Structure 1
Amino acid sequence: MKRIALLMFMVLSMLSTAAIRAQDIRKMMDTTKYGRNPAVGKYANIRGIKMYYEVYGKGEPLLIIHGNGGSINNFLFQIPYFAKKYQVILADSRAQGKTVDSADSLSYEMITDDLNGLLEHLKIKNANVIGWSDGGIEGLLLAMRHPDKVNKLAVTGANLRPDTTAVDPFVQKMVLAENIKGADSLKKMKNPPAEMKNQLKLMHLLSYEPNIKTADLKKISCPVLVIGGDHDVITTRHTLEIFENIPKAYLWILPNSGHSTPIFYRDMFNQVVSDFFAKPYRSIEKTARFN
């Protein structure tokens, strides 16, 4: 169980950076008010679950989506920045954080439709969206499945497939091995703990999903900022593949960066994403390419 929890954190915070920095960030996530704020925290009955969410600030709606095994607190550096201008909406996704889901199955499509349900619950017609890691996958799916809900979308560390054409081979092998090992351990238990079953459900998601066709990206009508680190767990060529197949897209690859762009490059990340939301999308073709 501890091995699974550690793996989830490794995927989340990329311990390839200095270990002390990752530990400090983990401590900040564990102590921040975000994700555990009784003044703003609420539950909504969404598609058979009680989804926990928090809202900060006023203005144009901005939905921020966390990654696998994460929570609202992962965006402790984004919430105060964007809340100065936007109505920032964050939720613990199905089977994660404070949003409990005891069902056996879990998919990115389910989580995406939950988020759409939350926007409907809040009576929000459309919003700008930021998605990190699995949250980026769900952001892409939201733009495909519920296009009216997404104004502009920024995704970092997203992937369309779980194989080595998209995920770094070392990371893909590590995740798959842990998933198989955890599943074998679960089979040997008569009454496995609910937490372990839930963790394995999330690990299964990482190991075998998503399965999004490249052609489906062409259905996305909103402007999209596609972001990745040059040493991300998602390969740079795959991030480029996502960018090249979205009709209205910008590409931003951060140098000397792993998966955790919203954390270790938080100031730059916040500024660039904020500019993307604020400025009209510009088609750069023909002679405009010289500019």
Structure 2
Amino acid sequence: MFRTALIAGALLMSGTAFAEAETVEVNGMKMYYEVSGEGEPLVVLHGAYMNIPSMGAIIPKLAETHKVYAIEFQGHGRTTDIDRPITYPNLADDVAAFMDAVKLEKADVFGYSMGAAAGLQLAIRHPDKVNKLAAASVGYDSEGWQPEFKAFIPQMTVEMFVGMPFAEDYRKLAANPDGFPDLVKKLIQLEKEPMAWEPDVKALKTPVLVIAGDADVATLEHTVALFRLLGGGAMGDMGKPLSPSRLAILPATSHTAVINQTELLEAFIEPFLKGETPKGMFP
């Protein structure tokens, strides 16, 4: 999942395909979103400090086969901030309220980093809203982060982020160009929020595609444990159906490199959403 300073060098601003831009009232904020493409609905959720453009080419790619609803979270991009902490349950509830506001009863969801964790909470808190969830760079317990990142969290300060390049990018889109320090405070606190979702994840009925880099912010062991909680990891070819959930590991891929691998992401996400599986020797 995104994790603060790790994302700084990877926020490459790139345009998306033609999209209809809108705002809608959601839980006291004006939420900005874009709709593009045709097909089954797919809600796309960005990472922390990101926005729709910084998600890069994956949104227009997915819009070739889906009607994509890409949103910008509280205080991010063009969505206004409100006097409320940024937490994963809050973000999930915002997505559910957004779907109600645009009359989207149920949809597939693709989230990256913070957006993936919000998507996981959406499936936990509002299971009737989510058909399938593709979650890239996500975890379910803060104990699963790499040791280096766990050691870095207590050192985070607002000053550390306000001089980074994406701080200036924030000003170009933000409803409040001077609101970046307040956003940073909330996102640093988000890193410190308790995160221990194992019972809720284990109870999920929603199919989940777990995507991670082999050098991601969560350890490989944690990512595999997440997949097993979702019912994955059993041997195939033994007469039992495969788990509806799936696992994909991108080689030579750090956390911030995950979202830029458009072709690989699309190759994993599309078959999952369509329910396609590779054919083996046995039926």
Give the TM-score taking structure 1 as reference length. Answer: 0.78
Report the 3-state secondary structure (helix = DSSP H, G, I; strand = E; otherwise coil) of the residue aligned with 1:256: strand
Residue matched to 2:96? 116
- What is the CA-CA distance between 1:234 and the residue it aligns to? 1.2
Q: Which residue of 2 is the match for residue 197 of structure 1?
A: 182
Greater helix fraction, Structure 1 or Structure 2: 1
Query: In structure 1, which of residues 168, 193, 213 is the aligned counterpart of residue 146 of structure 2?
Result: 168
Report if aligned partners of 2:86, 2:186 keep a CA contact under 8 Å in 1. Answer: yes
The answer for the alignment partner of 2:239 in structure 1 is none
**Quick one: which amino acid aligns to residue 181 of structure 2?**
M
Give yes or no for the alignment of 1:217 onto 2:193: no
For the residue of structure 2 that corresponds to 1:62, the secondary structure is strand
Q: Structure 1's 80 and 69: CA in aligned 2 closer, same or farther, altered over 3 A?
A: same
Identity %: 31
Q: Report deviation, 1:173.
A: 2.0
Q: Output one character per residue of 1:113-133: Cα deviation in whole Å (capped at 9) or x when no partner.
A: 111111111111111111111
**Cα displacement string for residues 220-248 of structure 1 (whole angstroms, at most 9, x for unaligned residues):** 11211111111101111111111111134
CA distance in structure 2 between the aligned counterparts of 1:102 and 1:124, rounded to whole angstroms: 24
Instruction: State the Cα deviation string for residues 50-86 of structure 1 (Å, max 9, x = none).
Output: 1111110111000111111111113221122111111
Please state if 1:76 is matched with 2:72: no
Say whether 1:63 aligns with 2:43.
yes
User: Given that residues 95 and 102 in structure 1 are in contact (C-alpha distance below 8 angstroms), is that contact kept between their aligned partners in structure 2?
Assistant: yes
Structure 2 CA distance for aligned equivalents of residues 43 and 212 of structure 1: 33
Deviates more, 1:87-96 or 1:211-220: 211-220
Partner AA of 1:51 in structure 2: M
Counterpart of 2:267 in structure 1 is 271
Matched residues in 2 for 1:57 and 1:68: separation?
25
CA distance in 2, matches of 1:179, 1:219: 36
- Alpha-carbon distance between aligned partners in 2 of 1:84 and 1:264, rounded to the nearest angstrom: 17
Match of 1:105 in 2: 85
CA contact (8 A) 1:78 1:262 kept: no
Aligned to 1:185: none
Structure 2 residue runs without a partner (length 5+): 161-177, 232-243
Distance 1:195 1:80, change over 3 A: closer
State which of 3, 7, 11 in structure 2 corresponds to 1:12: 7
Q: Does 1:253 align with 2:249?
A: yes
Q: Does 1:32 align with 2:15?
A: yes
Q: Which runs of 5+ in 1 are unaligned?
A: 1-6, 16-21, 183-192, 283-287
In 1: Cα distance, 2:227 partner to 2:189 partner: 26
Q: Residue type matched to 2:15 in 1?
A: T
Aligned 1:138-153 pairs, distance under 5 A: 138-153=118-133
| Residue of structure 1 in register with 2:168 after alignment | none
CA change 1:77–1:107 in 2 (3 A) is same
The code of the aligned residue for 1:251 comes to: L
Q: Normalized against structure 2, the TM-score is what?
A: 0.80
Residue pair 2:32, 2:71 contacting (<8 A) in 1 also: yes
Closer, same or farther: CA 155–210 of 1 in aligned 2, 3 Å: farther
Q: Does the 8 Å contact 2:29/2:79 carry over to 1? A: yes
Aligned to 2:237: none
Give 3-state SS (helix, strand or coil) of 1:268's partner: helix
**Residue 133 (structure 1) aligned to one of 100, 113, 116:** 113
Change (3 A) 1:289 1:141: farther
The count of corresponding residues between Structure 1 and Structure 2 is 252
Alpha-carbon distance between aligned partners in 1 of 2:119 and 2:206, rounded to the nearest angstrom = 11
CA RMSD of aligned residues (A): 2.7
CA displacement 1:122-177 (0-9 Å, x = unmatched): 11111111111111111111111111111111111111233xx3111222222320
**For 2:223 and 2:80, how far apart are their aligned partners in 1?**
31
Q: Is the 8 A contact 1:160 1:210 kept in 2?
A: no
Q: Is the 8 A contact 2:16 2:59 kept in 1?
A: no
* 1:32-51 equivalence runs, <5 A: 32=15, 40-51=20-31
Aligned-partner residue type, residue 260 of structure 1: T
Structure having greater relative contact order (Cα 8 Å, sep ≥ 6): 2
- Segments of 4+ in structure 1 off by > 6 A? 288-291
Report the CA distance between 1:251 and its aligned residue. Answer: 1.1
- SS of residue in 2 equivalent to 1:260: helix
